[in-house]
Chains A and B, each alone.
Chain A
Amino acid sequence: MTTKNNNWQRETDAEGIVWLTIDLPGSSTNTLNREVLEELDGILAELEAQRPTGLVIQSAKSNFIVGADIKEFTRIETMEQARELIHRGQAVVNRLENLRCPTVALIHGFCLGGGLELALGCDYRVADDDQDTRLGLPEVRLGIHPGFGGVARLPRLVGATAAMDMMLTGRSLSARAASKIGLVDYAVPRRHLQRAARQLIKTQPPKRRAGRLSTLGDTALLRPLLARVLRKKVAARARPEHYPAPYALIDIWSEYGTDKPAVLEAEEQSVARLIVGDTARNLVRVFFLQERLKSLGDKKAFTPRRIHVIGGGVMGGDIAAWCALRGLQVTVQDRSDVHLARVMERAAKLFRKKLRKPRLIQQALDRLMPDRRGEGLAQADVVIEAIFENVEAKQNLYREIEPRMKPGALLATNTSSIPLQVLGEALSDPKRLVGLHFFNPVAKMQLVEIVTTADTNAEAATQAAAFTRHIDRLPLPVNSSPGFLVNRVLMPYLLEAVTLEAEGLAPKVIDAEALRFGMPMGPILLADTVGLDICLSVAEILSKELGVEVPARLRELVKAGRLGKKSGHGFYRYDKQGKPLGAKPGRGEYCPPDTQDRLISRLLNEALACLREGVVADADLLDAGIIFGTGFAPFRGGPMKYIEQTGREKLAAKMAELHKKYGDRFQADESWLPAPGRAE
């Protein structure tokens, strides 16, 4: 017997087991939107009367359920609306949980957020042990926390420590890891999923519960203690004024523990409050900005297999390693075996960290080939030049490689400062050259600037964006103007930090101000990490093109051989592990009240200039670029969003004040005050 709703397909087999399969029409993934929940509610109501032998929930798509429908979040305007939505979701999961027959969730692919919370409402969970299976509660990344009963159910199932870790970090688990902590009853190969479900329904073993040891932290006596530890751990990564959700989550658990009705009630209230707050709204926006960047590269448009990277420095080597990690066949060319050996060492470290299993690590290493003679060039679908920043050297290289490249292969440069127009002079077909500007460290920074000129071949740009998506990075189209977007916006902010330091402010004080704003890393530490020589060279190019003044202090340090982290001494000193010494802000250090304004204003000012000049197409892309390229406080939604939320006039006034006090580097960009009649 088969019944079909819009989103759910119901089938009862000969043994009386109901197989409920979710399959959202016209979508590649399953989400728990309102309609899906309503339908499920109706089905569950029927099953209450029908009393089947058992119920199995599964998915017809390559993923189970990826979570709530985030688009619905953007339509929520009031707390009441939010509460109603959450309440409905909770009620459906409760209904599932109270069903009197045994229930099993058959999980493969992503089982995230509301999807996992739905699975938690089942008596049993069976997961496909394939590496594509991921289970997690990533709500905290959107500025909220689980609201469909996750906070109430997960700690009881896997213990408070494991549960809080999952919910506070938002990290997802493999099927094996989930089985280890008791989140799923079995992690088995796909071919055994249904057999496992049938057996569970037939034998109805006792439901999983956290072991005594792991529930120890869940007693009313110990909860406040553990909560304090958790708050401290969270505080190391996020401030309560920036990211309230993890703190709210700890509060709920600490106060109500395993009192399910109370936790459900608190979940509902807390999520409703968070979801209408600025942080969640901005993070949801960032989520959609990320989706937009993803949509800018069409993987189907270009399917490269072989990548040839020229230049075995840190950037070239890391780009090569990343491509190999993502499954591409890579050759990395450098004249020096010493450099290539270092490339392989760093790559092996990356592969070990990301892949863990020796077999997978070996496969990745096999895909990455050091290539001193550049023999991979002729067969490569994408050639990425990442040699040192020297026009002549790059041009000579292009002259040499262009005739040897496969017809139709993409030629890209990782230059961070040289205009494509200049580099292209060396090519017989300058239109084929695009910039693929990666950021350091490649494995962490998701953004890749796709640099083009007005003349660039449209196909090359399409290929570059597609390639970027194939290696799971975010493409941002930018114009070939000095510094492109990210470096240009970042540099005045870094230089202002250097100026502040030269004025006598301690580096850690400056960095603390940036962290207080919500930056992931202070500008002084960032400059040290990038390398002061590199900062200086980018600054000098920008100074030549855009008149940005370069503080003498930066030149002094570079001249003295203090290059930052890599030389063990820049603004900070570094220990052997590369950790900065004395970077922890102390109490009571003097900090002029306009320090943060000076740092941030210069960044915002440059961002506005970039937008006005059309370095990127629109404000959303600018925000996306700055967030994914620099880590700019995501909860603030990006520079443009920040200006909008803080108030343009207010910030412009601040700008004027700084201009008066500190001179022309605070000259407000003409676009600060919108032209009359221009729609914002």
Chain B
Amino acid sequence: MTDEDKGTNNRRTTQPRRVVHTVYVVDGARSPFLKARGKPGPFNAANLAVAAGRSLLVRQPFEPGDIDEVILGCVMPGPDEANIARVSALRLGISQETPAWTVQRNCASGMQALDSAAQSIAHGRANLVLAGGVEAMSHAPVLLAEPMVAWLGEWYKAKGLGARARALAGLRPAYLKPVIALLRGLTDPVVGLSMGQTAEILAHRFGITREQMDAYAMRSHQRLAQAQDAGYLQEIETLFDTTGHYFDADDGLRRDTSMASLSKLKPVFDRPFGNVTAGNSAQVTDGAAMLLLASEQAVKKWDLPVLGRIVDSQWAGLDPAQMGLGPVHAMTPLMKRHKLKLDGIDAWEINEAFAAQVLANIEAWKDYHYCRKELHTAAAMGELDQARLNVDGGGVSLGHPVGASGARIVLHLLHVLERMGARRGMASLCIGGGQGGAMLLERE
């Protein structure tokens, strides 16, 4: 395919979509994001979704049964949580007659849930949809290696002492090595790179230094600390476990982070010469974010407060080895479609998978050649004002529970717009496997 063809292709997607019904976000709530600390955290994914969901539902003027559909994004639900959206919906007391489904688009699963919910409403199929995302990364399964599973099959078949002894003799120590599903999930099976390595590639391509990454990371922590102190994170609902503990804030925040402490960390993905460290990457975290989307009819019927409007969204694909640039690939056509320039967006949320990756997106939009060649624009998009980007911190400081982040950034962005008295916001994520997702939001 020539560039010219791609351009045509792109132009086709920029035709305005026919939106029949306006999609409102009326309310939302999320759990605090709890950093994984080497063992399964206090809540599994369904518990997180239910805790956030019931706080959200209890304050609604309608009955849970009035909800038409439930959609949750989740990358790795636990073995007891197949179709976690349905499990959560039933546990939330939402009617048995309300269908529920789970979506998976890796790091953007939560945003995919919102997009799917928005489509249901836009097409007039639903008036009230509970949508969001959840991930309990600390509960990601640890699996038996395939040879071990095969060996177990033989073992169960073996009857009698002799057969058992023969089977036992076939067991190799190497079979016992567990498979950490989380690590596998964070590695691209097609290009064979871990997500961190794709960030290293972007850093190399755009000349982003270790200092820039660490400075970005430090700022993320500072911004989250400021937001916590100012009480800007009202969307968080306290979690309670059954042993007398409660969790009321994102606990990945390090108020004592400094350039000195960050510079001491060793690279974790490209050893020994890489620059991406645990300090300038998103944290492995458990959390859930739930939103209520409503049609105009529902807003009127229940006299619901309007937090904002989902105007449009866009998905894009790109080289899996550079998946971190997904945001510019998704946001650019969305901006074009709505004839927006960078300064037309009042606040941005670009999920911080890696500090290097967020910075690479900024660089890419500044880069004339990248914009021409990869984004098919006539000129460079320009420089994104970082004062309006992730103003209350992001994945680096509060964590990135993969299925939940897409829903969290949309919810938080609406709160930021409300606080600023601003109109338009853009939420976007990079997606493992080489995709990007973006959602355009507006407040009246």
Task: Check B244 for interface membership: any CB of A closer than 8 A.
Answer: yes
- B246 within 8 Å of A (CB atoms): yes
Is B9 an interface position by the 8 A CB rule? no
Closest Cβ of chain B to A203, distance in Å, is 29
Q: Is the Cβ of A348 less than 8 Å from the Cβ of B238?
A: no
Whether a CB of chain A sits under 8 angstroms from the CB of B415 is no
B15 part of interface (Cβ distance < 8 Å): no
Cβ 8 A contact of B240, one of A341, A366, A379: A341
User: B178 near A: Cβ within 8 Å?
Assistant: no
With known contacts A344-B242, A345-B244, A370-B240, A375–B59 Cβ distance under 8 A = yes
CA A373 – CA B234 in complex, angstroms? 12
Number of interface residues of A (CB under 8 A): 24
CB distance B59 to A340 under 8 Å?
no
Across the interface, do A342 and B244 meet the contact criterion of CB distance under 8 Å? yes
Contact partner of A369 among B55, B242, B244, B246, CB < 8 A? B55
User: Chain B, 15-55, contact with A by CB distance < 8 Å: what is the 0/1 string?
Assistant: 00000000000000000000000000000000000100011
Bound Cα distance A329, B57 (Å): 13
Residue A371 at the chain B interface, CB threshold 8 Å: yes
Q: Across the interface, which residues of B come within 8 angstroms of A370, CB to CB?
A: 238, 240
Most buried by B among A340, A341, A344, A347: A341
The total of interchain contacts (Cβ-Cβ below 8 angstroms) comes to 49
Contact B58 A341, beta carbon cutoff 8 Å = no
Partner of B242, one of A331, A345, A379: A345
Q: Closest residue to B59 on the A side, CB-wise?
A: A375
- Please give me the residue from chain A that is nearest to B46 by CB atom: A362
Given A341-B240, A344-B240, A348-B242 in contact, is the A369-B58 Cβ separation under 8 Å?
A: yes
Contact indicator B238/A337 (Cβ below 8 Å): yes
Q: Which residues of B contact A342 (CB under 8 A)?
A: 244
Q: How far is the CA of A376 from the CA of B59 in the complex (A)?
A: 7
B58/A376 in contact, CB under 8 A: yes
The answer to the question of B305 belonging to the interface, with a C-beta cut-off of 8 Å to chain A, is no
Q: Which residue of B lies closest to A348 (CB)?
A: B242
Which of B59, B61, B93, B244 makes the CB contact (< 8 A) with A341?
B244
Q: Report if B229 contacts A (CB, 8 A).
A: no
Q: Is B245 an interface residue (CB 8 A)?
A: yes
0/1 interface trace, chain A 314-337, chain B, CB 8 Å (1 if under): 000000000000000101000001
CB-CB under 8 A for A371 and B246, given A337-B238, A341-B240, A366-B50: no
| Chain B interface category by residue count | 10 to 19
Using a CB-CB cutoff of 8 Å, which residues 333-392 of chain A contact chain B?
A: 337-338, 340-342, 344-345, 347-348, 362-363, 365-366, 369-373, 375-376, 378-379
Chain B residues in 8 Å Cβ range of A340: 238, 240, 246
B-side contacts of A372, CB under 8 Å: 238
Is the beta-carbon distance between A341 and B246 smaller than 8 angstroms?
yes
Decide: A344 and B58 in contact? CB cutoff 8 A: no
Q: Give Cα distance in the complex from A345 to B243, angstroms.
A: 5
Inter-chain contact A331/B240, CB cutoff 8 Å: no
Residues of B within 8 A of A363 (CB): 91
Q: In the bound complex, how far is the Cα of B244 from the Cα of A342, in angstroms? A: 5
Give every chain A residue within 8 A of B243 (Cβ-Cβ): 345, 348
The answer to whether A329 touches B246, judged by C-beta atoms less than 8 angstroms apart, is no
CA distance A338 to B54 in the complex (A): 20
What residues of B have a CB within 8 angstroms of the CB of A375 in the complex?
Answer: 55, 58-59
Complex Cα distance A372/B242, Å? 17
B229-283: which have CB < 8 Å to A? 238, 240-246, 248
Cβ–Cβ < 8 Å partners of B54 in chain A = 366, 369
Contact of B246 among A337, A362, A376, A378 (CB under 8 A): A337
The smallest beta-carbon distance between A406 and chain B, in angstroms, is 11
When distances are taken between beta carbons in the complex, the residues of chain A under 8 Å from B58 are 331, 369, 371, 375-376, 379
CB distance from A220 to the nearest CB of B (A): 45
Q: Inside 8 A of A347's CB, which chain B residues have their CB?
A: 242
User: Chain A nearest CB: distance from B242 CB in Å?
Assistant: 3
In the assembled complex, which residues on chain B have CB atoms less than 8 Å from the CB atom of A329? Answer: 93
Q: Which residues of B304-342 have CB atoms within 8 Å of chain A's CB atoms?
A: none
Complex Cα distance A341/B240, Å? 6
Do A344 and B241 touch across chains, with their CB atoms under 8 A apart? yes
Residues in B with CB closer than 8 Å to A365 are: 242
Bound-state Cα–Cα, A347 to B243, Å: 10
B61, B92, B243, B244, most chain A CB atoms within 10 A: B244
A373 to B245 Cα, complex, angstroms: 18
Q: How far is the CB of B32 from chain A (nearest CB, A)?
A: 11
Q: Which residue of B lies closest to A344 (CB)?
A: B240
Determine the residue in chain B with the shortest Cβ distance to A337: B246
Which one of A329, A366, A371 has the highest number of Cβ atoms from chain B below 10 Å of its Cβ? A366
* B184-228 at interface with A (beta carbon < 8 Å): none
Note all chain A residues with C-beta closer than 8 A to B245. Answer: 341
Q: How far is the CA of A370 from the CA of B241 in the complex (A)?
A: 11
Q: How near does chain A come to B188, taking the closest CB pair, in angstroms?
A: 36
Contacts of B242 in A (CB 8 A): 344-345, 347-348, 365
Give A residues with C-beta under 8 Å from B: 329, 331, 337-338, 340-342, 344-345, 347-348, 362-363, 365-366, 369-373, 375-376, 378-379
Known: A366-B91, A375-B55. 4 other contacts (CB 8 A): A341-B241, A341-B245, A345-B242, A370-B240
A sample of 16 cross-chain residue pairs with beta-carbon separation below 8 angstroms, ordered by A number, consists of A329-B93, A331-B58, A337-B246, A341-B240, A341-B244, A341-B245, A344-B240, A344-B241, A344-B242, A345-B243, A362-B91, A365-B242, A366-B50, A369-B55, A372-B238, A375-B55
